[in-house]
Amino acid sequence: MSEVIDRFMRYISVDTMSAEDADQVPSTPGQMSLAGQLADELRSIGAQDVSLSEHGYVFAVIPATAGCENAPALGLIAHMDTSPAISGADIHPQLVKDYDGTDICLNRELDIWLRVSEFPDLTRYKGQDLITTDGTTLLGADDKAGVAEIMTAAAWLIAHPEVAHGKICIGFTPDEEVGCGTKCFDLKAFGADIAYTVDGGSLGELEYENFNAASGKVSIHGASIHPGTAKGKMKNALLLGMEFQSLLPVFDNPMYTEGYEGFIHLDQMSGTVEEAALDYIIRDHDRAKFEEKKKTFALCADFMNRKYGEGTVEYTVKDSYFNMREVIESHMYLIDNAREAMEELGITPIITPIRGGTDGARLSFMGLPCPNLCTGGHNFHGKYEFTCVQSMEKIAELLVQIVRKYAN
């Protein structure tokens, strides 16, 4: 088994599922456990200035080689946590060698299959080796594949001091999946001038655009009356919540959108006749369209209050992150260098907008330009997640090739 896959298998054995609405970083103890292991491993391969913060951030440095001291300090970043959408505990990865292009049985006892008809991307991996789940957990390629690839590239560079490069700053972060990956990120301590997150999908993906993002919360105050005597008195908060949803544009819904199209997504709804709560996420790549979606959200609430009485609907809209393109457009050499490195290794670049967010977006607006690179994984956040062995090995090579681009 190659070094990158050996590392990946070790890392996914640690349960690092992050937790929503936790009051500390990292949000779960497993993340600190893996952070400690990674810090020890960095020391063992010869990285310098290895640190583990109280919040679970692992930083390390590979010093510049002689003559490259004035090159920009390049950061490579991946997150350690896995999504709380599905369990990341007791993962049983399955190695499918020389994949034959047909459906893959993940769990015969539970009759769970990874079917080509549902996931046609599988066909591109015929003849290669895949790592899948057993159908009961996620795999953890998001983003332990990125962690393994960075660690493997770092070990190779340290073992080959003849390869010229500038200062390399390595960062492994907690709680990206719950939106807190940069909450306690110390840019000064990290020490990079520019960086890449390694947190994307299939081999060749290169991303410098992401959604502008906001969260929207709606609280609806109804009036509960015995249904036998409710005429003219009851105000059913659940029905008012359904009415609020019906006022939003029908096709501004993720099930109808792709590419650069944004959406307003009802993520959660709960309540009773007396009180109801609706949680939304609002997304768009275009800042003007993003602001218009937030305005529409507010107008729906205002209409409901005019119809049913002031105070019936309370709402908040809170910005989460913005499209990193606004920052990266002034640093397009980051994209050009990554694309050239891919082409030199025979990788076809796939430059595509992220229909989501990344720590790189927040870091870019904090002052660290930080586009996103591929990891080789697919179907993140679910039991159908898989990754390709050959892709992960190639991405470790790609990181070395990108590092070389910043030697002067």
| DSSP-derived secondary structure for 174-229 | S-GGGT-TTTT--HHHH--SEEEEE---STTEEE----EEEEEEEEEE-B---GGG
Report whether 285 belongs to an annotated binding site. Answer: no
What CA–CA distance (Å, rounded) separates 211 from 178? 16
Strands in 313-321's sheet, in edge-to-edge order, are 263-271, 275-284, 212-221, 313-321
Q: How crowded is residue 215: how many other Cβ atoms within 10 Å of its Cβ?
A: 15
At 148, list the tokens.
Answer: 């393994």
Active site residue 176: yes
Active site residue 81: yes
Report whether 199 belongs to an annotated binding site. Answer: yes
At 227, list the tokens.
Answer: 């249904």
How far, in Å, are 112, 379, 389 from residue 104 at the CA level? 9, 14, 16
User: Which residue in the list 41, 81, 209, 359 is annotated as catalytic?
Assistant: 81
User: Which residue in the list 15, 176, 359, 393 is annotated as catalytic?
Assistant: 176
Report whether 92 belongs to an annotated binding site. Answer: no
Report whether 79 belongs to an annotated binding site. Answer: yes
Beta carbons within 8 Å of 281's beta carbon, 6+ residues apart? 213, 214, 215, 216, 264, 265, 267
What CA–CA distance (Å, rounded) separates 98 from 95? 10
Evaluate whether 296 touches 192 at the Cβ level (below 8 Å).
no
Evaluate whether 381 touches 83 at the Cβ level (below 8 Å).
yes
What CA–CA distance (Å, rounded) separates 72 from 407? 8
Q: Which residues are annotated as a binding site for Zn(2+)?
A: 79, 142, 177, 199, 381
- Pick out the residues of the known binding site: 79, 142, 177, 199, 381
Residues marked active site are found at 81, 176
